[in-house]
Amino acid sequence: MEYTIREARREDMSQVLELIKELAAHENHLDDVEVSIADLEKEGFDNGNFKCFVADVSGKIEGMALVYFRFSTWKGRTVHLEDLIVRESMRGTGLGGALYKQVVKYGHDHGVKRIEWVVSEGNKNAIEFYENTGAQIKESWKTVHMEEGGIQKNIK
């Protein structure tokens, strides 16, 4: 199978959103997806809030990795990998590993001292893959989210 890992283009965002929804459906959270194609285009291409890499297989986007810069008070500028998604039908083909390597290269090329992301504790294959690449799973750290209702409650 031939594929290309490349930076996403504005016109790829409809297929990127399909991937996002596929992952959300797999995790039984499809109703939680609120982002739109217009949001992705605006935030990624007009505002530069993220970089997206895609796995292009004969003109179809079969995988994506979305990253952005964060700032760590301990490490300085870091790269955060928000999501790495490969269509279920394409898993095991090497697309995920190729996207992962592109993210690592991106971080290296930008001189960051850390690349960080969250992985579901139930995703044993991903955890094993990440650990085999030298990544460390930080069991003692908990991811915290405050959703819109909590935000509204705390501004009153």
Residues designated as active site: 130
H-assigned helices in the chain: 13-26, 37-41, 95-109, 124-132, 148-154
Q: Which of 1, 39, 2 is nearest to 17 (CA)?
A: 39
The answer to whether the CB of 17 falls within 8 A of the CB of 36 is yes
Burial of 85 (C-beta count, 10 Å sphere; 0-12/13-18/19+): buried
The secondary structure of residue 38, as a DSSP letter, is H
Question: In 1-80, where does DSSP find H-type helix?
Answer: 13-26, 37-41
Residue 83 gets which letter from DSSP?
Answer: E
